[in-house]
Chain A
Amino acid sequence: MLKIFGSFVLFLYNMVTRTERIRVLWNRFIEEATLIGVNSIFIVGIVSAFIGAVTCIQIAYNLTNPLIPKSTIGYMVREMTILELAPTITSIVLAGKVGSSIAGGLGTMRITEQISALEVMGINSTSYLVLPRILASMFMFPLLVILAMALSILGGYLAGTLSGVMAPQDYIEGIRTDFIPYNIVFALIKAVVFAFLVSGISAYKGYYTEGGALEVGAASTAAVTNSIIAILLADYVLAAVLL
């Protein structure tokens, strides 16, 4: 375990030493940001909207006490979404989509000697291939989390009002009650940390793939599994430290 951690740290160290020219990295960053961010909007949108809707319906189902105002449902949807569901569930979804793509892509490049080709040319392959992926993830995950927050709250609104569980003004009142701006900052910090973990772990797993197609599949699976475990551990640590 310690050996793997040391190897991971060295991997990251190699990535930031002898980096390629800024212009090259910028172009790669834009490419990766498009792949990681823009191509994930649909899945993040669908997942977050439905999670918001289901959260709203289930809270309403449990809040049967007439003394508790209906606006509490909106308040709870907002708090759950911002603090936990948007950053964590979005990152877990992205671990599946982006993490497997990074590990699979790098793994394939490794077994088809494309990484060796870069190295022979004198190009730092970790800097060229991995650094832009990690930076693009750290930039795009928070944006996707913001989108997830908005769509999740909107999903809750639509589910709550269209199903007749609550009036629109109750929901609006709920999501505006006792708002703490720091919660948004906390969620975005989580998104950046999760992005680093997902992209870093997936890149590490893919970069050091050995063997053939079977091993590339195994590396992708391991990347997703390890990323999700890392997200959950980091989620607890960040909550304990920052809240």
Chain B
Amino acid sequence: MIEISNLEKSFDGNQVLKGISCTLETGKCNLLLGGSGTGKSVLLSCVVGLMKPDLGSITFDGTVYTNSKVDIRQEIRRKIGMLFQGSALFDSMTVAKNVEFPLQMLTPDMSLEERRDRVEFCLKRVGLENAGNKMPSEISGGMKKRVGIARAIAPNCTYLFCDEPNSGLDPATSIKIDELIAEITHEYNITTAIITHDMNSVVGIGDHIIFLHQGKKLWDGNKEEILNAQVPELREFIFSSSLVRAAKRVEEEDGPQGLEHLAAEPLSEV
């Protein structure tokens, strides 16, 4: 579990995070939801240690991360896996070498054979067992995301952070990536935080959703509660999606049965 308390961060006098406090729960997909420029990425950067907050504290399973000694921070960082928006694969290495890299760097005691087994396992886990010898430039965007996930989980991470895992992907691939992240989170009981503004992700894998608006946390709850939340900014955000608006309209016109009927129809008829 990660506890964020009263986090503040400014850039040149512009306060981006305004005293955010929230908890990222273990074994759940914690979604950081919000429009562009609301501070989601800055919050995540502070949590993973890429930025130093001006005020506040971040605690990883009881260990304070902010302002702690370098050794403690290093120890926590080594438990972190991260999937970047652009995947951030090392383009000079093959897919297998990318996945092996954190093992090589972080677990020097691991034998070559153990490392190869682990790489094979992780690639198989994300459905890329035959792509090990390919270079990142030779694979699709969705495959890159999968490699990013494999690399993140290779060293048995305790905390998984995903920065807009669906960006640049088609809806079907987005859902597959979401499902993969959710499966891994539940299977290994890790703490996962996902930045998103994709409503498909919200209703699909939102075990715990934190809504940010103008650097503040305005709401938190889960995917069952979000559609009935009474926060105007959140409602505006949710119902700016055409698909959600259409679903809402069908529900209002035909009741819950209308929605069920809509979901059962083939995509070509919708």
Contacts and interface: CB of A to CB of B under 8 A. Distances in A.
Interface of A: 18, 20-21, 24, 112-114, 116-117, 119-123
Contact of B105 (A18, A119, A121): A121
22 contacts: A21-B108, A24-B105, A112-B88, A113-B84, A113-B85, A113-B86, A114-B88, A116-B50, A116-B84, A117-B82, A117-B90, A119-B49, A119-B50, A120-B50, A120-B77, A120-B161, A121-B80, A121-B105, A121-B106, A122-B77, A122-B78, A123-B105
A21 to B, nearest CB: 6
Nearest to A20: B105
Contacts of B84: 113, 116-117
Contacts, number: 44
A47 B246 CA distance: 69
B153 to A, nearest CB: 13
B258 interface: no
Contacts of B106: 121-122
Query: Max chain B CB contacts within 10 Å: which of A112, A113, A116, A120?
Result: A120
B74 interface: yes
B88 A117 contact: yes
Interface string B91-109: 1000000000010111010
Nearest to A17: B70
B50 A112 contact: no
A121 B102 CA distance: 7
B88 A113 contact: yes
Contacts of B161: 120
B82 A112 contact: no
Interface string B5-20: 0000000000000000
A106 B106 CA distance: 22
Contact of A114 (B48, B50, B74, B90): B90
A213 to B, nearest CB: 13
B51 to A, nearest CB: 10
B141 to A, nearest CB: 13
